[in-house]
């Protein structure tokens, strides 16, 4: 959108037009997973029953998101944002130079992060469930896997938040607000829709 087109005769800047990108299911999933993960992480050794309940709800959320990743809205589908490793690496290199192209949906690094977080959180849920079964009760490797996966998720979350902040600065948009409202600035000719 041309900057001149966004100016009124009085010289006030109008808000650039926006488009809906993130559907309600994606947004509810994102914020529910974030809140439940934080709750489960903080209650792990101290409040067992709510911790386990949070884990089961998280597992259900992951299952719903996997289905929605196949049949959901355009920007929710994995086919819209899963790129090969070389594309993601190229995107990260462009980001370091602050020359990465803007994507209306997830960019290649963001898509890779979605997959990494889904797999890691699924592993946390699976290993947590295994710990409740007689066959795996008290096995140290299952508990170690559960704990290591939880800390790996924390690292991924840190990278995710950092990536969101960098992309927000680089492209001049508030991606956190976009994940709340579902709306982003309309695509321009240089953007990838």
Q: Residue 3: inside a domain, yes or no?
A: no
Q: Residue 42: inside a domain, yes or no?
A: yes
Task: Work out the mean pLDDT of the chain and round it to a whole number.
Answer: 88
Q: Residue 2: inside a domain, yes or no?
A: no
| Domain span at 174 | 22-183
Residue 185 sits at φ, ψ, to 5 deg, of: -60, 140
pLDDT average, residue stretch 135-156 = 94
The phi-psi region of residue 46 (left if phi > 0; otherwise alpha if psi is between -120 and 50; otherwise beta) is: alpha
* Its pTM surpasses 0.95: no
Q: Residue 109: inside a domain, yes or no?
A: yes
Q: Residue 6: inside a domain, yes or no?
A: no
Q: Residue 70: inside a domain, yes or no?
A: yes
- Measured distance CA(58)–CA(33) in Å, rounded: 6
Domain count, the chain: 1
Q: Residue 69: inside a domain, yes or no?
A: yes
Given a contact cutoff of 8 angstroms between Cβ atoms, the answer to whether 17 and 186 are in contact is yes
pLDDT value at 8 more than 80: no
Angle at 73 between CA 105 and CA 59, to 5 degrees: 90
Assign residue 173 the CATH number of its domain.
1.20.950
Q: pLDDT value at position 112?
A: 95
- Measured distance CA(176)–CA(165) in Å, rounded: 9
């Amino acid at each position: 959108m041309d900057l001149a087109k966004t100016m009124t005769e009085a010289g006030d800047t109008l808000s650039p037009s926006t488009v809906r990108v993130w559907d309600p299911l994606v947004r509810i999933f994102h914020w529910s997973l974030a809140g439940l993960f934080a709750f489960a992480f903080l209650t792990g050794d101290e409040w067992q029953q709510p911790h386990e309940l949070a884990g089961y709800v998280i597992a259900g959320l992951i299952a719903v998101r996997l289905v929605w990743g196949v049949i959901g809205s355009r920007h929710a589908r994995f086919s819209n944002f899963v790129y090969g490793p070389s594309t993601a690496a190229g995107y990260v290199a462009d980001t370091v130079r602050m020359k990465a192209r803007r994507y209306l949906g997830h960019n290649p690094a963001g898509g890779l992060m979605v997959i990494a977080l889904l797999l890691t959180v699924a592993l946390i849920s699976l290993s947590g469930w295994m710990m409740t079964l007689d066959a795996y009760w008290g096995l140290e490797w299952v508990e170690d896997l559960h704990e290591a996966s939880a800390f790996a998720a924390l690292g991924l979350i840190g990278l995710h938040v950092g990536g969101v902040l960098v992309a927000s600065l680089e492209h001049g948009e508030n991606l956190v607000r976009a994940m709340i409202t579902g709306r982003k600035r309309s695509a321009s000719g240089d953007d990838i829709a």
